[in-house]
Amino acid sequence: MSEQFDVIVIGGGPAGYHAAIRAAQLGLKTACVDMFAGKDGKAALGGTCLNVGCIPSKALLDSSRQYWNLTHGFEVHGIKASNPSIDVGTMVGRKEKIVKQFTGGVALLFKANKIASFFGKGRLLKERAVEVTSPDGKKQVISATNVVIATGSAPIELPFARFDGKRIVDNAGALEFDSVPKRLGVIGAGVIGLELGSVWRRLGSEVTVIEALPEFMAAADADIAKAAAREFAKQGLTIELGAKLQKAEVRGNEVHLVYAGKDGEKQLVVDRLLVAVGRRAYTEGVLGDGTGVKLDERGRVVVDDHCWTGVEGVWAVGDCVRGPMLAHKGFEEGIAVAELIAGKAGHVNYETIPWVVYTEPEIAWAGKTEAQCKAEGIPHKTGSFPFAAVGRAVAMNEPAGLVKVIAHAETDRILGVHMVGACVSELIAEAVVAMEFKGSAEDLARIIHAHPTLSEAVHEAAMAVDKRAIHRAG
């Protein structure tokens, strides 16, 4: 007889560990199966986010931002430094320590919540049994009343630019370079390409980003994308739009690229190549025969609005199901499913998921872009406000960017808030709260914002919807 649980979660990444902890909090006997191994070969909970994604990339973004300020930002303050240098080993070592602290933190939370942790690959079998294959190949079967699939995603590999872990790398590889590459090629001007491209650019690499789409940051509001592109160009990040990689060949210490650009075929030689053309659901080998769980054409587990697969007691959350591949979307789905399993009213509002790109300046938004409002025929009005007119931003020497609020033309309800500028990853939370409470632009305009703060840009943009921003002529 296999060991029996109330809930088994397959995958200990953001979506999975939130589901497991919430289920345990609700008094359910919970197990979590996870196969991620750290550099020491031991279990490392937290999935892509903690091991090779959100947290390590933020650590390097912060280190490289400090270095960039030292080499480019301090002089204006009268601060001079002679011969600044970067020790990449120390920088990467600091990142490793942070990763260990947080993956270990999840293990401690599992212990504190009495969650049984299984190290190995989980596979759903019939009748909610789960086979666990440990790294040494040993198999065991456990069972539960409910199983939550949270197996995450993996980088998409291009057949003509295969990852070799050294010269041609994915996001994980680009967090591990042992020195600053002189020339870095990046395929894809998406979130990963821009964030990791920025890290190495700030440390001195010549970075060329090759993006297939003709438009820069097509998912963002056009005004925000335009302002961001201007800042990236100033930083020396070369972004080629409408350019499709055709071939990447490693020759000695170099990678030779051939791509179809706007003006015909082009060639580029780089020292390292980061391929960041999106991620795909990781569901290979996760479903045994006859489970009844369906995968869609992109390999994602098919679920309804409540993350239910349609098979009794089987749920799926996070990157392995539809919706944006964002850790916080997975967090909320994991919590919601645990609550539904416990008979409570779990719910995720997909309309107010914030997006953040941790470049410099940062980019953040929630809700609809102006182009989406137009395409959907929604009558709307907008108000924008530049950080250059915000005292705190200028005092911080961070005048770049703007906040744009889009509201319904008749009801004034906030439809979208879009930002590019310093610390907008934090400022977006206010917009999400306002939207979650179905607030209007006038609500935001009438809320007191502390002075002097960056949040005044949100306040003024909301007032600008009604053409009454105070610190802006005309």
**What's the min distance (Å) between Cβ of 322 and ligand NAD?**
12
Reference 184, options 205, 166, 160, 210; nearest CA is: 205
Task: Give, as ranges, the residues between 316 and 345 that touch ligand NAD (CB under 6 A).
Answer: 324-326
Count CB atoms within 10 A of the CB of residue 434: 24
Q: Is residue 190 within the footprint of ligand NAD (CB under 6 A)?
A: yes
Near ligand NAD by CB under 6 A: residue from 358, 365, 385, 387? 358
Task: Write down the least CB distance from residue 366 to ligand NAD, Å.
Answer: 13
Q: Give Cβ neighbours of residue 146 (< 8 Å, ≥ 6 apart).
A: 6, 7, 8, 128, 313, 314, 315, 341
Quick check: 226 and 313 in contact, CB under 8 A? no
Check if 408 is active-site. Answer: no
Nearest partner of 33 among 114, 111, 121, 139, judged by Cα: 121
> Per CB under 6 A, does 279 bind ligand NAD?
yes
Segment interacting with ligand NAD, rule: CB under 6 A, options 138-146, 190-198, 225-233, 300-308: 190-198
Among the listed residues 313, 278, 312, the one whose alpha carbon sits nearest the alpha carbon of residue 298: 278
* Site membership for ligand NAD, residue 236 (CB under 6 A): no
* Amino acid in the structure at residue 443: D
Q: Does 191 bind ligand NAD (CB under 6 A)?
A: yes
Answer yes or no whether residue 393 interacts with ligand NAD by CB under 6 A. no
Under the binding rule (CB under 6 A), the answer on residue 357 touching ligand NAD is: yes
CB 155, CB 276: distance < 8 Å: yes
Q: Name the minimum Å distance from CB 275 to ligand NAD.
A: 8
Among 212, 260, 388, 409, contact with ligand NAD (rule: CB under 6 A): 212
Q: How far is the CB of 166 from ligand NAD (least distance, A)?
A: 19
> What are 75's two structure tokens?
């002089």
Contacts with ligand NAD by CB under 6 A: the residue count is 25
- Other C-beta atoms closer than 10 Å to the C-beta of 60 total 26
Q: Which stretch binds ligand NAD (CB under 6 A): 13-21, 89-97, 352-360, 416-424?
A: 352-360
Cβ neighbours, 10 Å, residue 342: 17
End-to-end CA distance of the chain: 76
The alpha-carbon radius of gyration of the chain (Å, integer) is 24
C-beta closer to ligand NAD: residue 14 or 120: 14
Nearer to ligand NAD, 92 or 158 (CB): 158
CB of 454 to ligand NAD, least distance (A): 19
Site for ligand NAD, residues 134 to 173, rule: CB under 6 A: 158
Which residue type is seen at 368? K
How far is the C-alpha of 250 from the C-alpha of 275, rounded, in Å?
Answer: 14
Does the footprint of ligand NAD cover residue 188 (CB under 6 A)? Answer: yes
Among 105, 135, 278, 285, binds ligand NAD (CB under 6 A): 278
Per annotation, catalytic residue among 306, 451, 459, 471: 451
Any alpha helices (H) in 285-386, and if so which ranges? 327-341, 370-375
Interaction of residue 419 with ligand NAD, rule CB under 6 A: no
Rounded to whole angstroms, the Cα distance separating 288 from 146 reads: 16
Q: For residue 198, give both structure tokens.
A: 């920025």
Query: Known catalytic residues?
Result: 451
Instruction: Give residues in contact with ligand NAD (CB under 6 A).
Output: 158, 187-193, 195, 210-213, 244-245, 276-279, 324-326, 356-358
